[in-house]
A = this chain, B = another copy of it.
Amino acid sequence: MAASVLFHFPFDPGSRTARLALGEARVEFTETVVRPWEADCPVGDLNPSGMPPVLQTAEAGRSLTLCEPAAILGWLEDRSAEAFLMPVDPAERAETRRLVSWFDRRFNDEVNAVLLHERMEKPLLRLGPPEARALRSGREALKAHLTMLECLLTTRDALAGRRLSQADMVAAGHLSVLDYFGEITWTAYPGLRTWYMKLKSRPCFRPLLTDRFPGVAASGHYADLDF
């Protein structure tokens, strides 16, 4: 198989989803770390949204450019002989898709656009110090989302049902960034904590645990497999 290149920004939740899913699929790839807010970011020529992740690969002798997490997750499913990160049961498939949509819209709008904006985008883009009110509102929203995930995991091993799915990759992409910044009080969510510990100990997670954000040390337990 031809070499694949993943263009990603290590603290972009969608880029992390792509790295986790590619790791689960044992797809070998080289990495190009990009800074999507800079004018000469190479992703600008590959993806009209200007955003990572983008995977450049080849199939049947033709080059193939996969833009956005959905295209990468879908391609991994398509190329697999068995169901890959997508349950077989129709109800679990529907639940996987519902949860992926939930993170794409609700979690992004209510948590990332507020909390990650204050803690990550502002220092990167030199937009000044975080605002206390925005931090508070993002943290309140995050609590509601974590409680919702905790409820799901009282009756399920994985987010959408019995087995790992795209929903777990998407959720882990998001939560791992917030965990780096120390935004998750795991003791309040024991079921979610067990789920996250299991995911974190999978080989696909290892590369993420060595990421470092300039000027911000990882939360104390970020790289601990047992926290």
Report which A residues bind B (CB closer than 8 A).
Answer: 47-49, 59-60, 62, 64-71, 74-75, 78, 90-91, 93-95, 97-98, 100-102, 104-106, 108, 148
Contact = CB atoms under 8 A, between A and B. Distances in A.
B49 A64 contact: no
A68 B101 contact: yes
B108 A94 contact: no
**How many copies of the chain does the oligomer comprise?**
2
**How would you classify the secondary structure of chain A's contact residues: helix, strand, loop or mixed?**
helix
A71 B94 contact: yes
A118 B141 CA distance: 25
A-B pairs, 7 with minimum CB distance: A71-B97, A68-B101, A71-B94, A70-B97, A67-B98, A70-B101, A66-B94
Given A69-B101, A71-B95, A74-B93, 7 more contacts: A62-B90, A62-B91, A65-B94, A67-B98, A70-B98, A71-B101, A105-B108
